[in-house]
Structure 1
Amino acid sequence: MSSPEHKQKIWKMIKDIKVGMLVTLDNDTPRARPMHLVQAEYGGTLWFFTRRSAEKVFEAKRDHDVCLSFSDQEDGVYVSLSGKANLTNDRDLIEKYWNSFIAAWFPEGKDDPDVALLEIKVEMGEHWKSKESKAFQLYEIAKANLKKDATPNLGENEKFGG
């Protein structure tokens, strides 16, 4: 797991990206699909609306281990988060996170019995943040290719949890 400060660092990286790719196992095959963040803060759990009847729900019930990846190429931000997925029908949470964007995907409204929330409790992850311009990154890669024992220094990389 991670400290409150580290959770804020992760949130700062992903909150504006908004859409992460959720990876579940479809039998033995990893399968990814985009999921839209609905919360305004992060304390170790991520929330996504879903249909109770969606394939990802059945996949997550068979194997609760999931992975989420977020990326913003322009800002050089890449985040991978792994954790456990659980479906909830908590009406208070559905009310709390419901918004007009979500409503567009659920024309029957928040009281539709198929509406649910997918809760991802993050257990571990890794993130990369490139602080330099694309030109500097290309320079670092070229320099590493010229020097035998060098690797490019493209910015920050950190693992946590697990």
Structure 2
Amino acid sequence: MSSPEHKKLIWNLIKDIKVGMLVTKTTETDESLRARPMSLVQDAYDGTLFFYTSKSDAKAFEIANDTDTCLTFSNPKDNVYVSLSGKGNITKDKELIDKYWNPFVAAWFENGKEDPDLAMLEIKIHKGEHWDSKNNKLVQLFEIAKSNLKPSETPDLGENEKFGTK
């Protein structure tokens, strides 16, 4: 859905944030949205993100019911914000489990890689948006004040880009 250069840009924006908020539609009758933190486990991004999960966790049932997901990453200190939408899938792929296994993950699964409840959440990203402002707060305030004096001009608060389809 995006070029290798763009995938690298997205990875550079999210890799140090490490934890994103995963949004799924609940399986409750009202089909409300629910978000929860998820930790990145990979060391590169090619259009798919991976996370460890329990097969018995609510998110696994929610994704089985509706594969649409949204992941958000935010670093307010550096004014970086990323929203990624994609299709989720729960897999027991042994190669994936072995590839990304680490001591942090091991702490959550008592029986290690052989835990019968262990699974991977794979999210294939198909669209998103990111905001990245290198400007400090003073420059941002100046831009906002300037646009209030000249309503025909919008403030330049940094880079914003939408990508993908669907």
TM normalised by structure 1 equals 0.97
Q: CA deviation at 1:31?
A: 0.6
**C-alpha deviations, 1:15-61, integer Å up to 9, x for none?**
11110000000142111000000001110000000000000111111
Which whole-Å CA distance do the structure 2 matches of 1:76 and 1:11 have between them?
A: 16
Which whole-Å CA distance do the structure 2 matches of 1:52 and 1:66 have between them?
A: 17
Q: CA deviation at 1:151?
A: 1.8
Q: Does 1:103 align with 2:106?
A: yes
Which whole-Å CA distance do the structure 2 matches of 1:110 and 1:104 have between them?
A: 11
Q: Which runs of no fewer than 5 residues in structure 1 stay unpaired?
A: none
Aligned residue for 1:24?
Answer: 24
Q: CA deviation at 1:161?
A: 0.5
Aligned residues: 162
TM normalised by structure 2 equals 0.94
Q: CA deviation at 1:133?
A: 0.7
Matches within 5 A, 1:45-56: 45-56=48-59
The aligned amino acid for 1:144 is: S
Which whole-Å CA distance do the structure 2 matches of 1:21 and 1:150 have between them?
A: 33
Q: Which runs of no fewer than 5 residues in structure 2 stay unpaired?
A: none
The aligned amino acid for 1:44 is: G
Q: Does 1:153 align with 2:156?
A: yes
The aligned amino acid for 1:25 is: K
Q: CA deviation at 1:134?
A: 1.1
Partner-residue secondary structure (3-state), 1:56: helix
Matches within 5 A, 1:62-81: 62-81=65-84
Partner-residue secondary structure (3-state), 2:70: strand
Q: CA deviation at 1:145?
A: 2.3
- 2:93 is matched with which residue: 65, 68, 90? 90
**C-alpha deviations, 1:85-108, integer Å up to 9, x for none?**
001101111011010111111122
- 1:134 is matched with which residue: 133, 137, 151? 137
Which whole-Å CA distance do the structure 2 matches of 1:11 and 1:138 have between them?
A: 28
Which whole-Å CA distance do the structure 2 matches of 1:58 and 1:29 have between them?
A: 14
Aligned-pair identity (%)? 64
**C-alpha deviations, 1:60-104, integer Å up to 9, x for none?**
111101000001111111000000000110111101101011111
Aligned residue for 1:35?
Answer: 38
Aligned residue for 1:11?
Answer: 11
The aligned amino acid for 1:16 is: D
